[in-house]
Chains A and B, each alone.
Chain A
C-alpha cells in the first residue's frame, strides 16, 4: 500500500497529466485543448498551494530555531512576527486611508526601498570585486572577463567623439556576436535539458514527485 501511494500513484498522475497536456499542444483540437487548459489551471492551483506550504515551512524552521536557542534567534523572531503581521494585514484588508491599503503602504514604504537599496549596493560590491579580481584570481580568462566588462561599461556611456563611437561599436559587436553566441548556446542547452527532463518525467524514469 505504501508503495502504491508513494510511488505508483504519483507516477501515474504525473505521466497522465504530462501526456494529456502534451497531446493538447501537439494536436490542438478538441478535446485535447480543453484538457490541456484544465491541466494548466490545475498547475496554477497547485503552485498557489505551494506558496502556502512554503509559508508554513518557513514558520516551522524559524520556530524551531527559536526554540533551539541557537544563533540568530532574534532574526527568526523578527521574521516570524513580520510574516504573521503581513498575513493578518493583507487578509484583513486593512487600509491606511480611503485611497491606500495598508498592504500597499507597507510595500511602497518598506519593501520597495529596502530591495532598491540592496540592488544599489550590488553596484558597489561589483565594483569592489572587479577591483580585487586579480588579487584572487589570475589567468587569461580573468583578463578576458575584465576586458569584456570594460568594453560594455564604457560602450554604454554615450560619450561624444570618436572614442564614444568606437566604444559603442565595440560594445554592439560584443553583445551581438560573442555574448549572443554564448547565450544562444546556453538557451539551447536549457531547452534540450528541459525537454529531456520533461520526457523522463512523462515516461516515468524520473520521479521527483515520489519518495521512493
Chain B
C-alpha cells in the first residue's frame, strides 16, 4: 500500500496516482517499464513509442511531438500532469453551496466505502472531448450518482476508469492488481498521461497551488468576463445552440448568488471543472483570480502548444455567437468554455481517438455577424444601396409573408413570386379588317362550287344512244337536201315559177339602189376613164358576185373606161383574171391587174396612194408600163371605184378608206346578198353617204340588166332556181315551226 502524501489515502502498490485526490504517488514509475499507455487499447508501450505496438494508435500528437521530445529530454523537470485532474476535494467549507456538498457526499459514498478515505476524487478537469477517450467506468460505481450529477460531471468522473477498469468491482487490497479505488499510484501518473497531454496541461502544479487555476488556463480565461452570471444566476441556458450542451440550470441558484464569496473556497479541481463545463464558474473563477492578481496571459499562451493555440483560436467564433456577454469569451484571448466550444482538430494533428471525440463540424455554429468597436466606424459613411440591389437582398420570412400568395398556375401557393409582365395578357387593339362586299354572283358561284365539291362522285356511265325517231336526223337532212336540190334543178326540167317579167318585176328598193349605180357609171365613166376595181370576194361567193361584176364592168367597158384590178385578198388577182377574161373588150390596153395588196385597211390605203408602184400581175412588171395605167399614179387619177365584195370587212374597208381620204371619189358596190345588210348604212341617202349605189345579188343584177336593156341568157334560169330553192326553204321553215311547235322539242 502506498499512502498518498497529500491526502493520506492508502493506494495499491501499483497505483501511480492517489485514488482519492489524484496526486502522484511516491514510487510510482512511468508505467511498468516507464512506457506510454495507449489511449485506445490501454496497452503499455515503451516511453519513446509514438505509435501503439498493439493497435497502432498514435500515442503522441503530431504537433506536440516535438514538445514531447523535449520533455523526454528532461523528464525529471516535468512534474506530473495530474495537478489539474487530481484536485483534492476539500472538506465542505462554510458557505459551500448545498449542491456542491451534496455532490461531494454522493461521490464519497459511491467510491470510497472506507470512512477514513477522503471523498472520491472527481477528476473532472478533463473536458468532455478529452474524457471520451477513456473507457467507461464500472456501472456500479456511478450508478447512484448519475442522476444527480450533471452529465458533464459524470463524464469527468468516468475519466478515472482506465485505472479502475482492470480491477474487479469493490475489490481492494495489495494483492489485487487493480484495486477498485480510482486512485492510481503516483508512479503511474506519468505513464498514464501522454506527453502531448502533458504539454497541454499546466507544466507543474505544486500541491500548494492546487486551489489556483493553472497558468495556461488563466491565460485562456477571459480577462473581462461577462457580467450576466453575476447579475442573477438565473436560469440561463448555455448559449451554444447545441442540444448536447450542459444546461446551466443544473447549477443551483444559490451557487450563483454565493459564487463570488465562495470562489476562494472552491477547490481547484472544482474550479477547473466549472471552467470547463459552464461559464458561470469561470466567471467566478475570473473574479477570484482578479483578487489574486492579474493573470499572466501571455506566459500561459506561450506555454501552450502550437496546435492547441490553433485549435483554440477558432473557438472565438462560436463563443462570440452569444454576443459580447458570451461566457468564457475573452476578447482577443482564447476560449475553453466547454467541450463543445473546442473546434475540431485538423487531421494529422490529433490522434484518431481524439479526432473521433471532436464535435461534428456541422454542429459548429455559424459565425455571428462581426461586431466592431464604435471607433472602427469613425470616418465611414453608410453606403446607399440602390433599389435594384435592395430587391436582390435576401428577404426575411416576415417580408416574404407580406407578399401576395400566388393563386394559380405552377407557382400556386408560393409567396413572393414575381408579378407577371404587364404586357403579357394585355388585350391589344383589334386590327381593323376592311369590310369586303361580296357580290351575289360571286356568292352564287361559290355556292355552286361548294355544291360540286360536296356532290358524291358518280362514275361515268356509258351514254346509251337514244333510238332515233321515225324521222331521224339523217333522214331529215336527206329530205331537206333533196328538196333544195329538186328546187334548184326544177327550172332545168321546165318547171318555172310565175315571175313578173321586165324591169318592173324587181323589188322597188332594189331597183332604186341599182338605178343609182347605173346612173353613176353612166355619168362618171367615159372613154379612157380609169376605173379602179377592187376584187374582194372569194371562190365561194364568186358564182353570185361574178354575175353582178360582169353587169357592172361590162357597162364600164361599154362606156369606154379602163379597168385597173386590185385586191386585198390573196385569191383576188386570180378571180380578177377570171372575171376579166369573161368581159367583152377587156384587153390589155383597157385592163390591168395589179395583183394583191396585203394589209387589210392599210393595204387599201397603200393601194389608193401608190397605184403606180404596184407590179403587174402575174408578170411583176411595173404598173406604169401598162396601157390601162396611163396617167394613173393614185386613186386621185381614177374616175370611179367599183368594189366587188363578198365579205363585210373588205367592203367596209374600201368604203371607209376611200371616203376618208377621197371624199369626192364615187364608189359603187356590186356585192353578194349576204353583204347587203352591212352596206345599207353607207348608201347615199339625200346626197350623203360614202356608197353611191350598189347592185346586190341576182335580183339586183336582173334589175341592172333590165336598166341597161340587155339580156343575159343564163340570168332567168338562175333567178328561177334561186326563187324555187327559196320557196322550198321557206316551206321547210314553216313546216319545221309547225311540227316542232306541236310535237315539241328540247326547248331552252
In the complex, residue of chain A having the shortest beta-carbon distance to the beta carbon of B736 = A131
Residues in A whose Cβ lies below 8 Å from that of B570: 51
Quick one: CB contact mask for A39-74 with B, threshold 8 Å, 1 for yes? Answer: 011011011101100000000000000000000000
- B191-199, B225-233, B448-456, B670-678: which lies at the A interface? B670-678
In the complex, residue of chain A having the shortest beta-carbon distance to the beta carbon of B478 = A128
Residue pair A158, B723 in contact (C-beta under 8 Å): yes
Residue pair B540, A43 in contact (C-beta under 8 Å): no
Which of A135, A137, A146 gathers most chain B CB within 10 Å?
A135
Whether, in the assembled complex, A184 has its beta carbon less than 8 Å from a beta carbon of chain B, the answer is yes
Whether, in the assembled complex, B43 has its beta carbon less than 8 Å from a beta carbon of chain A, the answer is no
A111–B538 Cα distance when bound, in Å, is: 10
Residues in A whose Cβ lies below 8 Å from that of B677: 175, 179-180, 183
Residue pair A139, B748 in contact (C-beta under 8 Å): yes
Given the contacts A135-B746, A136-B745, A139-B748, A128 and B480 also touching, CB distance less than 8 Å: yes
Residue pair A48, B598 in contact (C-beta under 8 Å): yes
Whether, in the assembled complex, B143 has its beta carbon less than 8 Å from a beta carbon of chain A, the answer is no
A160–B723 Cα distance when bound, in Å, is: 12
A182–B169 Cα distance when bound, in Å, is: 151
Residues in B whose Cβ lies below 8 Å from that of A25: 660
Residue pair B681, A108 in contact (C-beta under 8 Å): no
Whether, in the assembled complex, A134 has its beta carbon less than 8 Å from a beta carbon of chain B, the answer is yes
Contact with A40, one of B507, B602, B729 (Cβ below 8 angstroms): B602
Contact with A43, one of B500, B510, B599, B732 (Cβ below 8 angstroms): B599
Residue pair A146, B539 in contact (C-beta under 8 Å): no
Residues in B whose Cβ lies below 8 Å from that of A50: 598
Whether, in the assembled complex, B747 has its beta carbon less than 8 Å from a beta carbon of chain A, the answer is yes
Residues in A whose Cβ lies below 8 Å from that of B735: 131
Contact with A116, one of B510, B543, B599, B740 (Cβ below 8 angstroms): B543
A180–B679 Cα distance when bound, in Å, is: 9
B443 to chain A, nearest CB (A): 28
Whether, in the assembled complex, A156 has its beta carbon less than 8 Å from a beta carbon of chain B, the answer is yes
Given the contacts A119-B541, A130-B732, A180-B681, A160 and B505 also touching, CB distance less than 8 Å: yes
Whether, in the assembled complex, A206 has its beta carbon less than 8 Å from a beta carbon of chain B, the answer is no
- B69-77, B214-222, B603-611: which lies at the A interface? B603-611
Residue pair B736, A134 in contact (C-beta under 8 Å): yes
Quick one: CB contact mask for B80-107 with A, threshold 8 Å, 1 for yes? Answer: 0000000000000000000000000000
Once A and B bind, how many residue pairs between them come within 8 Å at the CB atom?
Answer: 191
Residue pair A41, B610 in contact (C-beta under 8 Å): yes
Quick one: CB contact mask for B710-731 with A, threshold 8 Å, 1 for yes? Answer: 0000000001001101111110
Residues in B whose Cβ lies below 8 Å from that of A43: 599, 602, 606
Given the contacts A47-B600, A171-B507, A175-B676, A156 and B605 also touching, CB distance less than 8 Å: no
Given the contacts A107-B571, A156-B507, A159-B499, A119 and B540 also touching, CB distance less than 8 Å: yes
Residues in B whose Cβ lies below 8 Å from that of A133: 733, 736-737, 740
A76 to chain B, nearest CB (A): 22
A16–B725 Cα distance when bound, in Å, is: 54
Whether, in the assembled complex, B33 has its beta carbon less than 8 Å from a beta carbon of chain A, the answer is no
A114–B538 Cα distance when bound, in Å, is: 11
Whether, in the assembled complex, A132 has its beta carbon less than 8 Å from a beta carbon of chain B, the answer is yes
Residue pair A127, B732 in contact (C-beta under 8 Å): yes
Residue pair B498, A115 in contact (C-beta under 8 Å): no
Residue pair A44, B539 in contact (C-beta under 8 Å): no
Query: Would you list which residues of chain A between 122 and 169 have a CB under 8 Å from chain B?
Result: 122-124, 126-128, 130-139, 143, 146, 149-150, 153-160, 164, 168-169
Residues in B whose Cβ lies below 8 Å from that of A128: 476-477, 480-481, 732
Residue pair A40, B737 in contact (C-beta under 8 Å): no
In the complex, residue of chain B having the shortest beta-carbon distance to the beta carbon of A181 = B681
A116–B748 Cα distance when bound, in Å, is: 35
A132–B729 Cα distance when bound, in Å, is: 12
Whether, in the assembled complex, B734 has its beta carbon less than 8 Å from a beta carbon of chain A, the answer is yes
Quick one: CB contact mask for B265-290 with A, threshold 8 Å, 1 for yes? Answer: 00000000000000000000000000
In the complex, residue of chain B having the shortest beta-carbon distance to the beta carbon of A101 = B618
In the complex, residue of chain A having the shortest beta-carbon distance to the beta carbon of B680 = A180
Residues in B whose Cβ lies below 8 Å from that of A160: 498-500, 505
Residue pair B609, A40 in contact (C-beta under 8 Å): yes
Contact with A134, one of B574, B725, B741 (Cβ below 8 angstroms): B741
A45–B583 Cα distance when bound, in Å, is: 33
Whether, in the assembled complex, A12 has its beta carbon less than 8 Å from a beta carbon of chain B, the answer is no
Given the contacts A44-B598, A104-B574, A153-B726, A159 and B498 also touching, CB distance less than 8 Å: yes
A43–B681 Cα distance when bound, in Å, is: 29
Whether, in the assembled complex, B463 has its beta carbon less than 8 Å from a beta carbon of chain A, the answer is no
A5–B542 Cα distance when bound, in Å, is: 45
Residue pair B509, A175 in contact (C-beta under 8 Å): yes
Whether, in the assembled complex, A88 has its beta carbon less than 8 Å from a beta carbon of chain B, the answer is no
Which of B500, B507, B571, B606 gathers most chain A CB within 10 Å?
B507
A143–B747 Cα distance when bound, in Å, is: 13
Given the contacts A43-B599, A111-B571, A116-B540, A136 and B507 also touching, CB distance less than 8 Å: no
A101–B573 Cα distance when bound, in Å, is: 13
Contact with B603, one of A47, A146, A150 (Cβ below 8 angstroms): A47
Whether, in the assembled complex, A75 has its beta carbon less than 8 Å from a beta carbon of chain B, the answer is no
Contact with A135, one of B574, B602, B606, B740 (Cβ below 8 angstroms): B740
Contact with B539, one of A111, A136, A150, A164 (Cβ below 8 angstroms): A111
Quick one: CB contact mask for A95-128 with B, threshold 8 Å, 1 for yes? Answer: 0000001011001100111111011001110111
Whether, in the assembled complex, B204 has its beta carbon less than 8 Å from a beta carbon of chain A, the answer is no
Residues in A whose Cβ lies below 8 Å from that of B673: 156
Residue pair A149, B733 in contact (C-beta under 8 Å): yes
Residue pair A172, B598 in contact (C-beta under 8 Å): no
Quick one: CB contact mask for A189-207 with B, threshold 8 Å, 1 for yes? Answer: 0000000000000000000
Whether, in the assembled complex, B708 has its beta carbon less than 8 Å from a beta carbon of chain A, the answer is no
Residue pair A40, B618 in contact (C-beta under 8 Å): no
Whether, in the assembled complex, A187 has its beta carbon less than 8 Å from a beta carbon of chain B, the answer is yes
A156–B509 Cα distance when bound, in Å, is: 11
A212–B540 Cα distance when bound, in Å, is: 40
Residue pair B680, A126 in contact (C-beta under 8 Å): no
Residue pair A115, B538 in contact (C-beta under 8 Å): yes
Contact with B599, one of A44, A154, A155 (Cβ below 8 angstroms): A44
Residues in B whose Cβ lies below 8 Å from that of A104: 574, 577, 618
In the complex, residue of chain A having the shortest beta-carbon distance to the beta carbon of B481 = A124
B156 to chain A, nearest CB (A): 110
A172–B543 Cα distance when bound, in Å, is: 25
Whether, in the assembled complex, B631 has its beta carbon less than 8 Å from a beta carbon of chain A, the answer is no
Residue pair B727, A123 in contact (C-beta under 8 Å): no
Residues in A whose Cβ lies below 8 Å from that of B506: 158
A183–B737 Cα distance when bound, in Å, is: 27
Residues in B whose Cβ lies below 8 Å from that of A44: 597-599, 602-603, 606
A179–B681 Cα distance when bound, in Å, is: 10
A11–B497 Cα distance when bound, in Å, is: 62
In the complex, residue of chain A having the shortest beta-carbon distance to the beta carbon of B544 = A119
Residues in A whose Cβ lies below 8 Å from that of B404: none
A45 to chain B, nearest CB (A): 9
Whether, in the assembled complex, B484 has its beta carbon less than 8 Å from a beta carbon of chain A, the answer is yes
Residue pair A183, B723 in contact (C-beta under 8 Å): no
Residue pair B748, A138 in contact (C-beta under 8 Å): yes
Residues in B whose Cβ lies below 8 Å from that of A175: 509, 676-677, 680
A-B contact pairs, 21 of them (CB 8 A): A37-B606, A40-B605, A40-B609, A41-B610, A44-B597, A46-B599, A48-B598, A112-B542, A123-B484, A128-B477, A128-B480, A130-B732, A131-B735, A131-B736, A138-B747, A139-B748, A143-B737, A146-B733, A156-B697, A171-B509, A180-B680
A residues bordering B, Cβ < 8 Å?
Answer: 25, 37, 40-41, 43-44, 46-48, 50-51, 101, 103-104, 107-108, 111-116, 118-119, 122-124, 126-128, 130-139, 143, 146, 149-150, 153-160, 164, 168-169, 171-172, 175-176, 179-180, 183-184, 187
New contact pairs (20) apart from A133-B736, A134-B741, CB-CB < 8 Å: A40-B605, A40-B606, A41-B610, A44-B597, A112-B578, A115-B538, A115-B539, A115-B540, A116-B542, A122-B540, A130-B733, A131-B733, A134-B739, A136-B746, A146-B737, A154-B727, A172-B509, A175-B677, A187-B652, A187-B678
User: Which 10 interchain pairs have the tightest Cβ spacing?
Assistant: A115-B539, A119-B540, A131-B736, A172-B509, A134-B740, A47-B599, A160-B500, A43-B602, A135-B745, A168-B507
